[in-house]
Amino acid sequence: MEAVIFSIFNGLLYGMLLFMLSSGLTLIFSMMGILNFAHAAFFMLGAYFAYYLTGGIAAVLAGLFGGAGGELIGFLIALVAGPLLVGVIGALVQRYGLRFVHRFGHVAELLFTFGLFLLIEELVQMFFGKVPKNYKTPELLDFAAFSGGGLDYNFYRLFMLVVAIGIFVGLFLMMTRTRFGLIIRAALTHPHTTAQLGHDVPKVFMWTFGAGCALAGLAGVLGGSVLGTEPAMAVQLGPIVFVVIVIGGLGSLEGALIASLFIGVLNDLSISMDIKLTGFFESLGVDVVGAEGVMQDLVNLSSAKLAPVLPYILLVLVLIFRPRGLLGQRDV
Amino acid sequence: MARSATTTATASETRNGGLVIAFLRRYSVWLIFVAVAIVLPWILPGGAARTVMSQIGVAIIFALAYNMLLGQGGMLSFGHAIYFGLAGFCIVHLIQAVQDDELIAIPIWIMPLIGGLVGLFFGCLVGYVSTRRAGTIFAMISLGFGEMVSAMVLVVVSFFGGEEGIQTDRAYGTDLFGLIDWTKDIHVYYLITIWAFVAVAAMYAITKTPLGRISNAARDNPERVAFVGYNTQRVRWAVFTLSGFFAGVAGALHSISFEQAGFEMVNVERSGAVLFMAYIGGVGLFAGPVIGAVLITALEKLITDVSHAWPLYLGLFFMVVVMFSPGGIAGVLGLHERIWKVDWRILGRLTKPYLRAAGATLFAAIGAVCVVELTHTLTNEEVRTTEMKLFWMATDAASVWAWLAALAILGGGIWLCRLTYPGARESYDNAIKTATDRALGK
Amino acid sequence: MTLALEMTDVRKSFGPTEIIRGLNLAVEQGERHAVIGPNGAGKSTLFNLISGRYNVSAGSIRLRGEEVANLAPHEINRKGLARSFQVTNIFPRMSVFENVRCGHLWAAGEKYSFWHSVNKRGRITREVEELLERTGLLAKRDFPAALLPYADQRALELAITLASGADVLLLDEPTAGMSHSETEQAVALIKRVTEGKTLVVVEHDMGVVFDIADRISVLVYGEIIATDVPGKIRKNQRVQEAYLGEAA
């Protein structure tokens, strides 16, 4: 039982990371109608930036003062500087790239972000190498906050969870309570009217895109040390974020939250509980022991092996039975 | 073409002669390609060249199949490789089954048809679900299916061979009274060529059918199509299924050619590659993806021989096309159609300004290549030395002079582009005006 | 004789706002029926409900006695109702001929066939050409539709609507944006080509309305407040109030 709770905790954490990514994506999509294919690439950039920033600052400070405090300070600085850097890059990409391609239509915009995704991945591989980086959680944060049922709950992971929740609350408040959020929501459905009211809609778009990318970068800074920092991370996580968006319903932050958490928990539970499908096949009357070839593979399937595929199976089911998604509003 | 005015010729003779000439004129493009395809292996001999040519043949079929979706149907898919790959896997198993005497000897040249049926089957299945949505969501769904199949391929190892894939041997006996020997690459090349022509002709013919026309209409104005009695989802589903068929044909030919199938036949990289070919070639014209397939396959072979940075170059090339020429190469050619239809000699005025612009572009491209290659050598962790060969010249990637030179060429190239492009643009505008004026009879 | 189109207590809400509030409309077969009303009364919503673009919140819509409310647009079209659009809705990349042919394909029984060329169907070609001639577009048959002058695009819009072979036609502001002479020609064209068909027209131009219509319905705030022959509508007090306010 304790193992289940532990898995759920980790699953929620993974889900919150997914939500950080999908919320930025939803923000951009709601605002500008663009599905930013390169979103996971900004996530990757955040992780890499954090790695180099943390490492660099830690080295400098360790040289000056010694001790492990440098690492923590480096991490905290990276926590702020990383997303900012990624956000600025995102804003520039929007200003000089996306805005330019906008005139060619939706397909061109999507293809631009697709090409950008591949480009960033190639550049990261070229500049930072193909080998995964040893991006570790800072030592001072890497301890057990408390124990539940014999399993240690890591402080860093709790910290991540708190930050992610804070982001959601902040976003929600900003969108519903502040004037800025009001302008954004107005620009979402009526950009021309909003422009005529004197608001610089192109600038709003640029900063929104930047903010979305910054969110992705933040997810990278936080999650890079947990999920692993390597060029393939964007390709692995990217499609899952899109699945989250489609299942949650395009344009819905709440839907993205629910879908993210669900997929996160599903992922961790299926790996840790590793439910074997042999029992299921036995009940169908299949000869489990003597199975050969393809049947052998199918019969030996377990939830852990299926874990990477589960989000996509979920996607197909949702598409068949509820194409709009859970809480979808905007129709594309 | 002047007809010989022979008074002694019988009426039927001149009529038949006229028919032949008309046939030649109408199908001239096709006939030229047939001739080139037949003759090519003799012009460029060698196993490597033949492999590339076979790859080009396969790529042409795949890219055109993809364009049934994108260019003609308006559906952007990031997961089309699954029909290509699944067909390939099935064909390898089939061939192996024949080899193991588990199956009657199906001739190799029928295999692509079977591959097509596999593609059709999965296209129909997946298409039914995917075509319920359009636009961006459709694209995301296609990506989802692509990832799902990619992941399943690695899980069900017995059928798909895991990371190594599965292999077979296509040479079982000889076909057609001993004339065809499948161990010979050249025979496989001609198999691919023949199938390519059949497939291309079929896909071209489909564009002229009611389904093809309505598919085009639905791409441009789906709402209107509904209001003239068509269920647009059914239209998209039908096109999707047919597109899967031809992708399957390509996949089968690929597997026959390489005698293997692996997960790289279904993954997102493969889907992306065909997207690039179709888009860079130009989605608006039927021949666009053909251009893209030939160009990219050939370039890939040439560049991967001398550089590690091919994916980067391809990505950059793609971005340039997306940003500056969304119609692709065929699109650029199409822009000049109005001119040459009126009087092809007007195009002559464009030669000089275009050549200047092309030269500037080439200069800038060389500069870009230099920068990329230098960077690549410097950042490459696998190679210890910074020495490299750049355009047949030995250079040291760490030397300041090399960098200065590269940046100077790049900068100079960009400056030259800014200098020459307005002139090219202007001469194009003039040519269009001349052509329009002449067409209106001024 | 069954009514061509009958709407009974139709309601449509978008969220909390009720746009169509209990609308009743009866159009006879072969009739030319105009719908007029002040801006914002719900005329486009009305057409969108009939043609299947929107679902009704309540009420029934019958086409020749058959219930069609909440059916998909293509299903309604196949039952014999076609509509034109206020904002020209053609296939810009195709030629005029191809535009009309696309409009005609389903009605001609072609469906989803992909095994024969569409050019080989001589009967379809003839039928399309005939339609082009009736709408005065035959001379421009190979023009790219996007390059047509505005009045011709509206004629093409009409031709596509007719091509589906429907005999109940909804025309949404067919003369919108036209000059006086263009309007005259358009009206003559409409009268000519819709001979024998049932016509429901939304229009702002009163001259056109009184010229074409056999009967007029007045739509105000989501309800039809009056349906009558043009002469009587002109004198109807409620109508005058709706258009001109109390001081009529």
Cα separation, B24 vs B29, in Å, equals: 9
Cα separation of B55 and B34, whole Å? 17
> Beta C17-27 vs C32-36: how paired, if at all?
unpaired
**Does B383 contact chain A (CB < 8 Å)?**
no
**Between residues A54 and C199, which one has the greater pLDDT?**
C199
Give the residue, B416 or A192, on which the prediction is more confident: B416
Query: In this structure, what DSSP letter does residue B102 have?
Result: S
What pLDDT does A331 receive? 44
A246 contact residues in B (CB cutoff 8 A): 137, 140-141, 144
B contacts of A230 (beta carbons < 8 Å): none
Assess whether C64 and C94 both reside in one domain: no
pLDDT-derived band at B6 (thresholds 50, 70, 90) equals: very low
User: Quick one: pLDDT at residue B124?
Assistant: 96
3-class SS of residue A276:
strand
* pLDDT reported for residue B177: 57
Partner-chain residue, chosen from A106, A243, A323, that has the shortest CB–CB distance to B135: A106
Counting the structural domains of chain C, the total is 2
Instruction: Please give the share of chain A, as a percent, with pLDDT higher than 90.
Output: 14
User: Does A272 fall in a domain?
Assistant: no
- The mean of the pLDDT values for chain B is 85
Asked if C152 and C93 sit in the same domain, the reply is yes
| B213 to C98: CB separation less than 8 angstroms, yes or no | yes
> Is there a domain that residue C191 lies in?
no
Q: Which residues of A touch B134 (CB under 8 A)?
A: 332
In a domain, C149, yes or no: yes
- The answer to whether residue B8 scores a pLDDT higher than 60 is no
Q: Which of C120, C148, C165 is the last residue of a domain?
A: C165
Domain assignment present for residue A121? The answer is yes
Query: Are both C85 and C100 inside the same structural domain?
Result: yes
**Which tokens belong to B377?**
């050598």
Three-state SS letters, A91-119: HHHHHHHHHHHHHHCHHHHHHHHHHHHHH
| Beta carbons of C51 and B209 less than 8 Å apart | no
Counting every residue written for chain C, the total comes to 248
Minimal Cβ distance to A297: which of B78, B158, B309: B158
- B210–C113 C-beta distance less than 8 A: yes
The answer to the question of residue A327 being in a domain is no
Distances in whole angstroms, Cα of residue B176 to Cα of each of B91, B199, B255, B309: 20, 22, 21, 45
Distance (Å, whole) CA B79 – CA B155: 19
Residue A67 domain boundaries: 2-230
Chains in touch with A (≥3 Cβ pairs < 8 A): B
Which pairing describes strands B393-396 and C32-36: parallel, antiparallel, or unpaired? Answer: unpaired
CATH of the domain at C57: 3.40.50.300
Partner B, chain C 154-213, Cβ-Cβ below 8 Å: 160, 163-164
Q: Are residues C4 and C67 in the same domain?
A: yes
**pLDDT computed for residue B7 by the predictor:** 46
- Which range is least confidently modeled, A138-147, B405-414, C145-154? A138-147
A186-210 tens-digit pLDDT: 766 666 677 677 777 788 888 889 9
Residue C175 lies in a domain: no
Q: Do A111 and B158 touch (CB under 8 A)?
A: no
CB contact under 8 A, C114 and B210: yes
A288 found inside a domain? no
Flag whether C176 is in a domain. Answer: no
Within-domain flag for A245: no
Place of tokens 């002109």: C234
Chains that touch C (3 or more CB pairs under 8 A): B
CA distances to A20, A162, A242, A257 from A165, rounded to whole Å, are 9, 5, 21, 10
C177 found inside a domain: no
Please report whether residue C188 resides in a domain: no
Q: What is the dihedral of CA B400, B401, B402, B406, to 10 degrees?
A: 100
Domain limits at C100?
Answer: 81-165
A42-58 b/e with 16+ CB inside 10 Å = b? bbbbbbbbbbbbbbebb
Chains contacting chain B through 3 or more C-beta pairs under 8 A: A, C
Single pTM value for the model: 0.89
> Which pair of tokens denotes residue C232?
């009587």
Query: Would an 8 Å CB–CB cutoff place B371 in contact with chain A?
Result: no
Task: Report the pLDDT averaged over residues C137-151.
Answer: 88
Residue C178 lies inside a defined structural domain of this protein:
no
Same domain, C85 and C66: no
Q: Of B203, B204, B225, B228, which to mutate for an interface test with C (greatest number of C Cβ within 10 Å)?
A: B228
Domain boundary among C111, C139, C165: C165
Is residue C186 a part of any domain in this protein? no
Q: Does residue A70 lie in a domain region?
A: yes
Q: Does B133 touch chain A (CB under 8 A)?
A: yes
**Rounded mean pLDDT of A10-28?**
87
**Looking at the 3D structure of chain A, how many domains does it have?**
1
Evaluate whether residue A318 is within a structural domain.
Answer: no
Describe the strand order of the beta sheet including C32-36 as a list of residue ranges.
C81-83, C168-172, C198-202, C32-36, C215-220, C223-228
Q: Give chain A's mean pLDDT.
A: 82
Q: For residues B197 and A165, what is the distance between their CA atoms, to the nearest angstrom?
A: 59
C90 touches chain B (CB under 8 A): yes
Residues C41, C114: one domain? Answer: no
pLDDT for B442 equals 59
Closest CA to A214 of A75, A72, A28: A28
Q: Which residue of B has its CA nearest to C102?
A: B214
Verify that C37 and C71 share a domain, yes or no.
yes
* pLDDT tens for each residue of B91-136: 999 888 888 877 777 888 889 999 999 999 999 999 998 998 888 8
Q: Mean pLDDT score of chain C, rounded to an integer? A: 88
Closest residue on chain A to B279 (Cα): A111
Instruction: Classify the complex by whether its ipTM is higher than 0.90, answering yes or no.
Output: no
Residue B248 has pLDDT above 90, yes or no: yes
For A223-234, what is each residue's pLDDT tens digit?
A: 888 788 888 888
Give me the residues paired with residue C12 across strands: C20
Instruction: Give tens-digit pLDDT for A238-296.
Output: 889 988 988 888 777 788 889 999 999 999 888 887 777 777 777 777 666 666 667 77
